[in-house]
Structure 1
């Protein structure tokens, strides 16, 4: 076994970068620490501008051949990657749980199978991607999707491999080459993806993985003149820095950013369903950008809703995410835990009441928390916490519900619980959000557009929208009867 290989729950993981089809070590490393118990998993190669430049160069060199590869062959390779993921679901699941603390049962049953599905979906969508030809005064118009070039894909730590696959799969399907930069708090499954892609026959340089701190490697990636697309999922402040960096080259951006999503509960809703949806917002220890962290409940049912919510939420088991019985695991990093607790303590000091939780547990665990008596303009209502912290406000009617729901700088998602389909139609039409769920949560079909409004993002991905971003969309207009026969 290489000196650069670590063993995570029996799974070998290479800690070096993957550039141009080869493993590349850096002069320095950074520690990767498990949020489960604070132990150091291993030392990871710490990339600099040198590795970033090398990765972009490898992607640029590999681009012409991959762009010229037939759709059928690209789709075949993506299906082979999906096969590789499916063969290693158990390994990927335990490595990612160790690395970022999310529930092992969720990784086994939902997340890793979804990673494979993402590759299969875009492989299949590629084969049927087309626009019907149309005529303009007898001239024919033909729309095509041309590969754009090397792409930089920057992914977060809360669902590392799944969110990477949402970007890597359509980019590769489009004929682009990729430099993937995983979050430094959860880099391991990106390294395993590089192995899986190579075993699936993806040519060298088509997928590159570079690790390190964004402050040290990020600008070299996002400001590089040879990069033709940048896709980022993460915080608003980081997105602004990326946008500034990309501006010199006018590099197109896709940004999926923070959320402060509302969950509206009307008096005519099935309260058991609504409570279940609300408690579900503690999934992944609240580290979900789409989470409906602002519970907005109609006044007449607020007391009953709160009683049922407290009963159900208090039954959640918090602990080791490797335990099948665990419902809420740890938060990713001590710095994130400090941030979460700071939000809660400032809110309580300002007059909020913690109905449940409101405190840390042992290690990197934060108790699931519900805060009431919060003002609409308060920090806890307006800013993304990214932890297991929900607020509850009440409303008198639809107008007030919509006003409160839309009353932040964000617009990523919204959830509506109601028993009246006409009300659902009225309210959803007025909500500012990229996705609205009615009497359900977190149902995502890759055929649908996905993205945020306001500070929650720029652009849409999913289905043809992904190809619109990762490709240069071309229209070819041909004159009627304009051919000269030289034969």
Structure 2
């Protein structure tokens, strides 16, 4: 199905308002059938330097526009994203294997909203006044400067705009490093930014591998902020470099989130929601991958969820009927497969799935494993593939203890009678948790994790607090008398 879904995309870097080619390139492939999708320019230290230099030059004028002056640019940017909705959807379905229907109906509209919502919310960042008997405090959110944005391959369009929206709306300029396995939708974002008339240097993009291009970007001492979504291992490298330059980082990392099913849960609703954990082949950081089910309802729940999973349509993500697509890359496929193989050797029981799916070389069956010790690798480590584990508990205390027993703390799900489920959810150590639901998001709410799931929060004022330098301008309530005794 590759040919009808081809999209014309610039394969060069976008620096200072112009496309810049490079001598070196890297190839990308479609995970559906591993068909070649062409080559992208590979950025070196000179490209990174040029992008950061352009962003540095553009920053004063962009910041001086104020939120009102930036609003028309960002609204046009969102409109240009909308004009490319079909191309963006096809591009990400092609290189990341994300469902085309989900791109069209969910992710592209969300990408547009990521830009417009923050552009409008920035209008509220005028002076916030704190009045005390001693002084009037005018609290300002001043733009920080040049921001590096580094996004992962599982949802590049949504996550790039999720960071670019508040960064640009705050008055910063940005340099984006898209994921090398799935760069196409981000490349189209550069086209949208140019068509929207964003001033040269405000929006820059350099393609290439994280180990070289990304490393050169985060090492640049001119950066004011680094926003990264990806693995904890990469985050440690970024944080180490950023610490040397004293650059603040926002790190949204992986998860091993609990999916708790209490004895008083609606099992049909819980089972249907549980099957959603296989969306995007479970290459979703916030998916609930550890099922913690009350022992009394374990068999009934397994039967109901198995019934739903058996009906899932596995296939080409560009087919509207498909519900589960491929794993993105051979390296990731082998990683997922090896986790399952080791778990089975270690004594895990396969409730369903457990091996490759015949649709294509990068397809793995939706899998559920059980009879696993809580300290087992498959329970404690993020697989990032369609592999879930099921454990049982006897009471709320045990459920909470199991939920809190990994080093991660990103998301969670809890099904049960609402008051009961809410009480349990409040005791789970995580950045967010859904009660009797999944996937509800609001741009005004905070998003982020605890422990090895990250540092910082994104969304609403939390995004502005990160992308801005918060300053207090103090005006005394009465004439100030200098004194060495004054504190």
TM-score (structure 1 length as normaliser): 0.96
Supply the distance in 1 between the matched residues of 2:153 and 2:4 (Cα, whole angstroms).
17
Q: CA deviation at 1:401?
A: 0.1
Pairing 1:169–2:187 present: no
Conserved in 2, the CA contact under 8 Å of 1:8 and 1:98?
no
Q: CA deviation at 1:417?
A: 0.2
Pairing 1:85–2:103 present: no
Pairing 1:416–2:408 present: no
Pairing 1:72–2:68 present: yes
Pairing 1:315–2:321 present: no
Question: How big is each residue's C-alpha offset from its partner over 1:295-323, in whole Å with a ceiling of 9 and x where there is no partner?
Answer: 00000000000011111101101011111
Conserved in 2, the CA contact under 8 Å of 1:268 and 1:420?
no
Q: CA deviation at 1:76?
A: 1.5
Supply the distance in 2 between the matched residues of 1:431 and 1:130 (Cα, whole angstroms).
36
Q: CA deviation at 1:425?
A: 3.2
Q: Name 1:389's counterpart in structure 2.
A: 387
- State the secondary structure of the residue aligned to 1:14: coil
Conserved in 1, the CA contact under 8 Å of 2:128 and 2:140?
no
Pairing 1:356–2:352 present: yes
Supply the distance in 2 between the matched residues of 1:376 and 1:270 (Cα, whole angstroms).
26
Supply the distance in 2 between the matched residues of 1:148 and 1:347 (Cα, whole angstroms).
47
Supply the distance in 2 between the matched residues of 1:400 and 1:339 (Cα, whole angstroms).
31
Question: How big is each residue's C-alpha offset from its partner over 1:131-152, in whole Å with a ceiling of 9 and x where there is no partner?
Answer: 6412222410110100100000
- State the secondary structure of the residue aligned to 2:27: strand
Q: Give 1:141-152 correspondences, 5 Å limit.
A: 141-152=137-148
Q: Name 2:484's counterpart in structure 1.
A: none
- Summarize the Cα distance change of 1:131–1:70 in structure 2 as closer, same or farther, 3 Å threshold: closer
Q: CA deviation at 1:207?
A: 0.6
Q: Name 2:485's counterpart in structure 1.
A: none
Conserved in 1, the CA contact under 8 Å of 2:262 and 2:421?
no
Which consecutive segments of 4 or more residues in structure 1 shift more than 3 A? none
Q: Name 2:483's counterpart in structure 1.
A: none
Supply the distance in 1 between the matched residues of 2:97 and 2:426 (Cα, whole angstroms).
37
Q: CA deviation at 1:480?
A: 2.4
> Alignment partner for residue 403 of structure 1, among 401, 404, 426?
401
> Alignment partner for residue 457 of structure 1, among 454, 458, 474?
454
Supply the distance in 2 between the matched residues of 1:463 and 1:129 (Cα, whole angstroms).
11
Conserved in 2, the CA contact under 8 Å of 1:147 and 1:175?
yes
Conserved in 2, the CA contact under 8 Å of 1:8 and 1:95?
no
Q: Give 1:69-468 correspondences, 5 Å limit.
A: 69-130=65-126, 132-361=128-357, 362-421=360-419, 423-468=420-465
Please identify, of 328-337 and 127-136, the stretch whose mean Cα deviation from structure 2 is larger.
127-136
Question: How big is each residue's C-alpha offset from its partner over 1:1-38, in whole Å with a ceiling of 9 and x where there is no partner?
Answer: xxxxxx98342101000011111111110001110110
Supply the distance in 2 between the matched residues of 1:241 and 1:384 (Cα, whole angstroms).
19
Please identify, of 216-225 and 435-444, the stretch whose mean Cα deviation from structure 2 is larger.
216-225
Conserved in 2, the CA contact under 8 Å of 1:8 and 1:41?
no
Q: Name 1:4's counterpart in structure 2.
A: none
Q: Name 1:35's counterpart in structure 2.
A: 31
- State the secondary structure of the residue aligned to 2:140: strand
Q: CA deviation at 1:464?
A: 0.7
Question: How big is each residue's C-alpha offset from its partner over 1:382-421, in whole Å with a ceiling of 9 and x where there is no partner?
Answer: 0000001100000000000000000000000011001141
Number of aligned residue pairs: 476
Supply the distance in 1 between the matched residues of 2:63 and 2:126 (Cα, whole angstroms).
17
Question: How big is each residue's C-alpha offset from its partner over 1:161-205, in whole Å with a ceiling of 9 and x where there is no partner?
Answer: 000000011000010000000100001111110110111111011
Stretches of structure 1 that go unaligned for 5 or more consecutive residues are 1-6
Supply the distance in 2 between the matched residues of 1:75 and 1:247 (Cα, whole angstroms).
33
- State the secondary structure of the residue aligned to 1:77: helix
- State the secondary structure of the residue aligned to 1:116: helix
Supply the distance in 1 between the matched residues of 2:61 and 2:142 (Cα, whole angstroms).
13
Please identify, of 127-136 and 223-232, the stretch whose mean Cα deviation from structure 2 is larger.
127-136
Pairing 1:54–2:71 present: no
Supply the distance in 1 between the matched residues of 2:290 and 2:134 (Cα, whole angstroms).
55
Stretches of structure 2 that go unaligned for 5 or more consecutive residues are 481-487
Conserved in 2, the CA contact under 8 Å of 1:368 and 1:389?
yes
Q: Give 1:473-484 correspondences, 5 Å limit.
A: 473-482=470-479
Supply the distance in 2 between the matched residues of 1:29 and 1:359 (Cα, whole angstroms).
34
Supply the distance in 1 between the matched residues of 2:108 and 2:130 (Cα, whole angstroms).
41
Conserved in 1, the CA contact under 8 Å of 2:418 and 2:435?
no
Supply the distance in 2 between the matched residues of 1:70 and 1:49 (Cα, whole angstroms).
32
TM-score (structure 2 length as normaliser): 0.96
- State the secondary structure of the residue aligned to 1:403: helix
Please identify, of 300-309 and 353-362, the stretch whose mean Cα deviation from structure 2 is larger.
353-362
